[in-house]
Each structure stands twice: as structure tokens, then as C-alpha cells.
Structure 1
Amino acid sequence: MIVVSGIMEVAPADADRFTTLTRRLVDATRREPGCVDYRFAQSIERPGRFEVFEEWADQAALDAHVRAAHYRDWSRALKDLEVTQMSIVRYAAAERTVLA
């Protein structure tokens, strides 16, 4: 299993546009084969800060995701926004255990 986690920050003035663009990305991505979980959450503490969390069945599923048209469209659209920070980390997980 592959886990991707991190943060993205956009200028507060771009937060609504980022949310609109990203909602379409999330909806399409969740239908992809191998997508276990895919979400963005807006921080209640910092306007324009979004937390990213993804789970993929394997690296091949993640690779297919970054080649998908909806992901490429989203990436291109980000160029029209002021992205002020991005820190995304990929983890390879040996197992997934549900604790509650």
C-alpha cells in the first residue's frame, strides 16, 4: 500500500477556486482503480491551507493517477493560483490495520 500525505497552501484569495478545482479532482480520483482513500481537508486554523491524504493499493495505481487526464488538468489549473507552499510525502506501508 502507498500512502501520500502532506499540505498545500494557496493564497487565501485563491482558496475558493482551489476548493472548486480540487473537488472535481477528488470526485474523479475516488473512482480510479486502486484508490483506497483520497481527500483534501481545509485547515480551520490557516486560511488557504489544505491537508492532503491518499491511500493507493500499489505504486502502479498511483502512477496511473498522475497520468490521468483529470489529474493533469488539475495540475495545469494550479498554475493560475498562487500556491505558497507544498510539502507532499509518499510512504510505502507494509500493512493496513484498522484500530477502531
Structure 2
Amino acid sequence: MSNISRAEVAHLAKLARMAVTEEELDVFADQLDQILDAVAKVSEVAGDDIPPTSHAVPLTNTFREDVVRPGLTQQEALACAPAAEEGRFRVPRILGEEQ
């Protein structure tokens, strides 16, 4: 049994910048105990003859090959823009005078 302490949970909460109540410390300590116990059981089952893996099933790449396709011209891209200026999208200024 792991028996993670309330102080350890409070420390973890502080590191995660979480504000937790006294009641939550008890709940989280119990939940973390259960998680650590489950991980310990899995560790007992995994023997030296079983290689560590990151996934239960093999992964395959689902990306397609890069294909060069023609894009929009500058005029086509700006055709439906609400505002354009000097060949660019015009957007409202969000900064003050400082730059």
C-alpha cells in the first residue's frame, strides 16, 4: 500500500498551483493511493521477459504524402477580405502607439 500523505498531496497541489481544501486533501490522497497501488500491481506482473512498450498495439503513420498544389493568388486571397491595404489583410490595431 502506498499511503501517500496529506503533506505530499499538499506539496503536489502547490507544485501544480492548485488551491485545494482540507477535505480535498483527504479525497486526493485516497485517489492517489489507489492509482499508485494499481501501478504497483502492474509492475509486479511485468517480468524481465516482457519488453517495455509505449503502446499496446503497433502504430502506423496515417499521414499522406506531401503533394504540391497551386495555392491562391494574392488577389484571390484578398477578394473576400473585409478590408485590404497594400496587398495585405487590414486588421484593427490592438497595440497602442508603442512598438
Name the structure with the higher strand share. Answer: 1
Query: Normalising TM by the smaller chain, what interval?
Result: under 0.3
* Higher normalized contact order (CA 8 Å, seq sep 6+, divided by chain length): 1
Larger Rg: 2
TM-score, with structure 2 as normaliser: 0.26
